[in-house]
Amino acid sequence: MTRVTILAGGVGGAKFAKGVRSLPAGKLLDVTVIANTGDDLWLAGLRVCPDLDSIMYALGGANDTERGWGRAGESERVSGELTAYGVGWPWFTLGDLDLGTHIARTSMLRDGLPLTEVTERLAARWDLGVRLLPATDDEVDTHVEVTHPEGGIRTIHFEEWWVRHRAQLPARRFVQQGIADARVSPSASQAISEANVILVAPSNPVVSIGTMLAVPGVREALAAADAPVIGISPIIDGSPVRGMADACLDAVGVPATATGVARFYGARSGGGILDGWLVDLADSDSAAGLRAEGIACEAVPLWMTDDGATARMAEAALDLAIRLG
């Protein structure tokens, strides 16, 4: 049994995790997905965890594949009421089915359960085929310092920047509120240290993977792990695979290229996190340079166009790990 631990953001991470899960049974994989919680927020008194839920819905087969996020067959009757009462954000609509998850989660959190156990209870309803863990039980909500169009510098929640402003307001920097007092969850730390292979999904390197790495204990666990750490580039030929990762990379001064992200993560031998790095065939030129910097880089097709393509990409990551392990 090969224990595979994946660090993942939301929708892209879910897609990748699904690819890993779909590998032939002969592989006998025991998969744990550690999800980013930096996008989490309190909204209308409810705790919303977008990345955990994207992964849960996608692996549970309940996600809306046409829209690309949320639950399939969703409706928005409750949100209409909240707007009528002037509660919540009218531009951040919570679906009725999705609200069921948030209410259940908030109820358990208010009862004093840590997010790890809450996530386990919520996931128990679905047939995920993987273990799903938050990176931390502590609240570390990402905020963005922006130059506001109406003047002045303001700090807004990441989701306000991302959803309301479509990442169009230039970001000065990202602030993980509460990160100094946060700590990697014991389960996530264990999943990293006991893994045979660690995969970094092609998720947003700044606000998904970057936020997880900023949680005290995560980098330390990766540094001490026996398993090789293989990352998959979220940038293909200078463009993000999905989402608006380039706007985030801009804000932290990292070039939006496969090489730029690899250097941002860094070689584990040099204090970074990567042993290996998969880039798309379009970025094969960058492989040699990265190898010289201590990152085993390989070029394979990285577009997650369908389940088969994603599975082949996951297999390439595992193969690279076996060669490095």
Q: How many residues bind a copy of itself (CB under 8 A)?
A: 30
Task: For the CB of residue 201, give the shortest distance to a copy of itself in the complex, in Å.
Answer: 26
- Scanning 111-208, the segments in alpha helix (DSSP H) are 115-123, 158-159, 186-193
Question: Please, what is the end-to-end C-alpha distance for the chain in angstroms?
Answer: 15
Q: Which two tokens stand for residue 182?
A: 């946060």
Q: Can you tell me whether residue 3 is helix, strand or coil?
A: strand
Residues 21-80 that bind a copy of itself (CB under 8 A): 44-46, 75, 77-80
User: Is residue 101 a contact residue for a copy of itself (CB under 8 A)?
Assistant: yes
User: Are 173 and 155 contacting, i.e. CB atoms less than 8 angstroms apart?
Assistant: no
Closest CA to 212 of 196, 195, 198: 198
* CB contact set of 35 (below 8 Å; sequence gap of 6+): 8, 9, 10, 13, 49, 51, 52, 55, 132, 133, 134, 135
Task: For the CB of residue 46, give the shortest distance to a copy of itself in the complex, in Å.
Answer: 7
- Applying CB under 8 A, the span of 117-125, 170-178, 181-189, 227-235 interacting with a copy of itself comes to 117-125
Distances (CA, A) of 117 to 68, 123, 124, 132: 27, 10, 10, 10
Given 68, 72, 90, 110, the residue binding a copy of itself (CB under 8 A): 110
User: Is residue 87 a contact residue for a copy of itself (CB under 8 A)?
Assistant: yes
Residue 22 or 106 with smaller CB distance to a copy of itself? 106
Q: Spell out the SS3 assignment of 197-248.
A: EEEECCCCCCCCHHHHHHCCCHHHHHHHCCCCEEEECCEECCEECCCCHHHH
Residue 54 or 203 with smaller CB distance to a copy of itself? 54
Closest CA to 5 of 184, 269, 183, 236: 184
Distances (CA, A) of 22 to 27, 128, 312: 10, 11, 10
Task: For the CB of residue 43, give the shortest distance to a copy of itself in the complex, in Å.
Answer: 9
Distance CA 37, CA 210 (A): 11
Residues 121-160 that bind a copy of itself (CB under 8 A): 121-122, 125
Residue 122 or 235 with smaller CB distance to a copy of itself? 122
Residue 127 or 150 with smaller CB distance to a copy of itself? 127
User: Is residue 248 a contact residue for a copy of itself (CB under 8 A)?
Assistant: no
User: Is residue 93 a contact residue for a copy of itself (CB under 8 A)?
Assistant: no
Given 2, 3, 97, 242, the residue binding a copy of itself (CB under 8 A): 97
User: Are 88 and 82 contacting, i.e. CB atoms less than 8 angstroms apart?
Assistant: yes
Distance CA 253, CA 215 (A): 21
User: Is residue 323 a contact residue for a copy of itself (CB under 8 A)?
Assistant: no
User: Is residue 5 a contact residue for a copy of itself (CB under 8 A)?
Assistant: no
User: Is residue 81 a contact residue for a copy of itself (CB under 8 A)?
Assistant: yes
Task: For the CB of residue 223, give the shortest distance to a copy of itself in the complex, in Å.
Answer: 37
Residue 78 or 221 with smaller CB distance to a copy of itself? 78
| Dihedrals phi, psi of 105, to nearest 5 degrees | -60, -50
User: Is residue 96 a contact residue for a copy of itself (CB under 8 A)?
Assistant: yes
User: Is residue 253 a contact residue for a copy of itself (CB under 8 A)?
Assistant: no
Residues engaged in binding a copy of itself (CB under 8 A): 44-46, 75, 77-82, 84-88, 96-97, 99-101, 103-104, 106-108, 110-111, 121-122, 125
